[in-house]
Amino acid sequence: MEIIWLALTAVLLIIEIVTLGLTTIWFAAGALFAFFAALLGMNQGIQIGVFVVVSVVLLFFTRPLAVKYLNTKTIKTNTEALVGKTARVIVDINNLKSQGQVVINGLEWTARSSDDTVVFKIGDAVTIVGIEGVKLIVEGQKKGD
């Protein structure tokens, strides 16, 4: 059984090296711990239990940290890059009338205010705070305030 666990560890590590997706590394660690359990003479049920427990614990507790620190070079693209940018209102934004458009980077977008009671007029500068579907969610101060 030791050879099976060691082979599984090797296969999972090779898959991880090829994909670099932080998907199989946790199971490779689980297989390695199961290999050590097999070396200590534990029965197959315990070995499988060690594999499952170690894999799940590592997956749920260390993966978020690894993704956070290893994927730091992720570049926001498309609409994600718009959040925090300033846009200019080209059609009054009035949530109660279901109207509003802004222009940013030369492109026109449907826009809604983050606060239903706030109305923005043509020419106002607004800050994009979110995106819901194909609509930009905006906040900001009216001109002259």
Torsion angle, CA of 54/55/59/61, rounded to 10 degrees? 0
Band the pLDDT of 140: cuts 50, 70, 90.
confident
Percentage of residues of the chain with pLDDT beyond 70 = 90
pLDDT at 77 over 70: no
Fold of 78-139: OB fold (Dihydrolipoamide Acetyltransferase, E2P) (2.40.50)
DSSP string over the chain: -HHHHHHHHHHHHHHHHHH-SSSSHHHHHHHHHHHHHHHTT--HHHHHHHHHHHHHHHHHHTHHHHHHHH-TTPPP-GGGGGTT-EEEEEEEEEGGGTEEEEEETTEEEEEEESSTT--B-TT-EEEEEEEETTEEEEE---TT-
Span 86-90, average pLDDT: 94
- Count of CB atoms within 10 A of residue 60's CB? 10
Return mean pLDDT, the chain.
Answer: 87
